Structure 1
Amino acid sequence: MINKTQSKHIIVLMSLFLFTSVLKAQDDRDFRFGFKVSPAINWVKVKDGRMNSGATGLGFAYGLMGDFRLSENYAISTEFLITTFKSNVKSKPGDTFTRDNDFRTYSNLDYHYSLKYIQIPIAVKFKTKEIGAITYWGQFGIIPSFSIGNTVVSSAAPAFGLDEKYNPNVNDNNKYDFKTYEDNVNALRVAMLIGAGIEYRISGNTSITAGLRFDNGFTDFLNNKKVNAINNGLGLHLGVFF
């Protein structure tokens, strides 16, 4: 697993690479600017610990994008996005957890995460020559993400059916041994991106683009030694270049 220090080194190296590309730009044609939106399907992969992956969630991203042209077929692409990941983790079947203030035993823990990040993807973009008005592209790179807020809705059920369903969030002053799964979200997330799509030139420098992109997290999004979990996404990329 990549730690925070290693992640920062990667971001610095990619930023230097991007800065070098900017210096190579000789005129306005070497840089393109646009806007994008991206609805996505999100999910969590639990690699280790007492929790399981739960249901998928629907996320969304929006923001700015730019291409720094290196040659006719290659570019450095970067974006500035506000992104929301929605996903779910739950306890393993048969596992029980103790509530500290009354020592009752609970099972079926369920956590629904809504995590908001600032993302700055940096990728190498490969493009075909224009065929008619259409260009095909693919991209590969990394996505450093910085947490700017999260919401977690959690619930549990008594292990022996003695009470109604219990919501740990009702009183934040109470402490439970499973509450750490709610609050401990890492501030930094790093992912690999792989994408492909098409671009259609409308007129002049204006074009629309569409494609699919896989956001493959490779750092643990939970700051909890008891659980190792990564969040992933598959998004529909829709944008306009000017």
Structure 2
Amino acid sequence: MKKISTILILSFLSFGVWAQNFPAINYGFRLGLTATPTFGWIKPEQGKTNSIASGFSYGLIGDFNFAPNYSFSTGLTITSINGKSTEANVAPYHSGSIPIAYDLKYKLQYIEVPLTVKLKTLKADGKRWYGQFGLSNGFNISAKQDAKNGSSTLGDNLKITDYTKFYRAGLIIGGGGEFDISGNASILAGLTYNNGFTNITTDKSRDVRNHYLALNFGVFF
């Protein structure tokens, strides 16, 4: 996964150099707003995923069009990634040498800056379709957790910032459509899968990753 993220980052840097050295045609920049429900889950290496939990993402989106059918797409959003799991020996609840299982609900919030490429079809009758692929960069701004051991509640909305890594990386793949509504304005609708590939905990004895599906909605102006 480290090799994949390195390749993606180098690819985007290479594109930036190319764009500066070859600005033959200006295809424009589009800015918009997005409000998106998310459906997240937790995948621990030692433990199990319990269920999907809903969240929300909102903020700015932008497309830098460098060819008629191609765009460099980014954004700045506040994204919640929630999920439930069962894991053993989880700090700060566990002490001693006897393994104990805990039922957990993660409530994590990130500032996300995606770096993706959009491949678009030609516009016909005011609509066009796209596919999207790239890298997700998340910076944690809130980390809370509910924890139970059997019928005993050990944590209720407990702050776990010290046990959560600041940076989260993921792969983005998705698709959807853009539909003209008036003048230069258009609406966006699609589906994105965000596959987290970095450990979200600071505990070196555990490897936990989070993923989510997003139903993308937005407006370009």
Structures share fold, TM-score greater than 0.5: yes
* Mapped contact 2:8–2:134 kept (Cα < 8 A): no
Q: What are the equivalent positions in structure 2 for 1:220-231 lying under 5 Å apart? A: 220-231=199-210
Aligned-residue CA RMSD (Å): 3.2
Aligned to 2:12: 14
Aligned to 1:234: 213
Q: Which amino acid aligns with 1:230?
A: R
1:55 equivalent in alignment to 2:54? no
TM-score by length of 1: 0.77
Q: What are the equivalent positions in structure 2 for 1:49-198 lying under 5 Å apart? A: 49=46, 51-91=47-87, 100=95, 107-157=100-150, 165-169=151-155, 183-198=162-177
Using the TM superposition, give the Cα deviation of residue 45 of structure 1 relative to its aligned residue in structure 2, in angstroms: 1.8
Using the TM superposition, give the Cα deviation of residue 167 of structure 1 relative to its aligned residue in structure 2, in angstroms: 2.4
Q: Which amino acid aligns with 2:214?
A: G
Q: Which amino acid aligns with 1:116?
A: Q
Distance 1:82 1:25 in 2: 35
Bigger Rg, structure 1 or 2: 1
* Mapped contact 1:189–1:220 kept (Cα < 8 A): yes
- Structure 1 pair 213/201, CA: closer, same or farther in 2 (3 Å)? same
Aligned to 1:219: 198
- Structure 1 pair 127/11, CA: closer, same or farther in 2 (3 Å)? same
- Structure 1 pair 10/75, CA: closer, same or farther in 2 (3 Å)? closer
Aligned to 1:178: none
- Listed as ranges, the gaps of 5+ residues in structure 1 are 158-164, 173-180
Aligned-pair identity in percent equals 31
* Mapped contact 1:127–1:136 kept (Cα < 8 A): yes
* Mapped contact 2:40–2:81 kept (Cα < 8 A): yes
Q: Which amino acid aligns with 1:233?
A: Y
* Mapped contact 2:135–2:172 kept (Cα < 8 A): yes
Distance 2:218 2:190 in 1: 9
Indicate the SS of the match to 1:186: coil
1:162-213 deviations in Å (ceiling 9; x for gaps): xxx322238x9xxxxxxxx885211111000011001111122110110000
* Mapped contact 1:25–1:68 kept (Cα < 8 A): no
- The structure richer in strand per residue is 2
Q: Which moved more, 1:18-27 or 1:221-230?
A: 18-27
Aligned residues: 217
Using the TM superposition, give the Cα deviation of residue 225 of structure 1 relative to its aligned residue in structure 2, in angstroms: 2.3
TM-score by length of 2: 0.84
Distance 1:99 1:150 in 2: 18
Q: Which amino acid aligns with 1:38?
A: T
* Mapped contact 1:99–1:105 kept (Cα < 8 A): no
Distance 1:43 1:190 in 2: 15
